[in-house]
Amino acid sequence: MSYHAIAAAAAFLTARTGVSQHDALVVLGSGLGEYAEQLPDAVRIPYEDVPGFPVPKVTGHGGSLISAPICDRRLLVMSGRVHAYEGWPMSDVVFGVRTAIKAGARRVLLTNAAGGINPAFSPGDLIIISDHLNLSGMNPLTGPNDDRLGPRFLDLTNAYTAGLRWDLAAVLTDLDLPVHEGVYAWFLGPTYETPAEVTMARTMGADLVGMSTVPEVIAANHMGAEVAAISLVTNLAAGISPKPLSHTDVTATAERTRATFTKVLDRFLPILVAHDD
């Protein structure tokens, strides 16, 4: 997907919302999309309306961009995302994030459902992602580099912005929730990992496993945005969990945790949009 396609989608957003500049983007992961339903004065744009935008097919994922006013700023929400395991090219997987950043978003919060590997984590916990392991063999920046988006060789030392991690930790503390950080290992999926793969990931330093987020983190960093990411532990990873994994259990945990997740976003999003000019 070319730079022009990204610019055209961003221009469409501006035209449809009448908002010349969005401040931040939130991507809502599996089972977490409901948050977008209750934002006051929001403009909802189905993905299929946005030129070039990939439309998700997996059940349990929504499929719209929501533009909402918040604290005198403007928030974009992506409810639903496309994944590499569905066969989408990397350029489609990161199209939404690139469009939002082109439309002005300087900060991005990515959320996902993940399997917990770290024994300190339990289903229902929210974990601040501190770093990642890309175990997929894929990267959204392969191919010719477009210098208008960002540099050819991207440093990822601070891919997850320290200040935003602090802010997230403060929000969790204020809400009397446990504060955990963790390294997220991206597996391509769509199979859940084998127990041996989970042991490998643990040995390599992972605390969480999942099938998303890392491409968007890379693309957002490429364009110079600040990134925060949070995982909802929906299950213990394969081999750690005493029972087989199921998508139904994943969405059930997300459902059960919705009220907590909502409180965290209600507190964190005003901080996210309030970037320094």
Q: Return the number of the residue (18 or 242) whose C-beta is nearest ligand HPA.
A: 242
Contact partners, residue 153, CB within 8 Å, separation at least 6: none
Among 1, 36, 211, 237, the active-site one is: 211
| Span near ligand HPA by CB under 6 A; candidates 33-41, 153-161, 232-240, 262-270 | 232-240
Q: How many residues of this chain interact with ligand HPA, rule: CB under 6 A?
A: 13
15 three-state secondary structure: helix
132 in active site: no
Main-chain phi, psi angles of 202, to 5 degrees: -60, -45
83 in active site: yes
- What part of residues 206-225 is at the interface with ligand HPA (CB under 6 A)? 209-211
Asked if 129 touches ligand HPA (CB under 6 A), the answer is: no
Our separate counts of H helices and E strands in the chain read 8, 9
Q: What is the 3-state secondary structure (H, E, C) of 165-208?
A: HHHHHHHHHHCCCCCEEEEEEECCCCCCCCHHHHHHHHHCCCCE
Tokens 């396609």 belong to which residue? 5
Q: Which of 101, 164, 171, 245 binds ligand HPA (CB under 6 A)?
A: 245
Q: Which of 10, 93, 114, 133 binds ligand HPA (CB under 6 A)?
A: 114
Asked if 237 touches ligand HPA (CB under 6 A), the answer is: yes
**Does a cis peptide bond (omega within 30 degrees of 0) precede residue 54?**
no
Residues catalogued as catalytic: 30, 61, 83, 85-86, 113, 211-212, 235, 247
Contact residues toward ligand HPA (CB under 6 A) are: 113-115, 192-193, 209-211, 234-235, 237, 245, 250
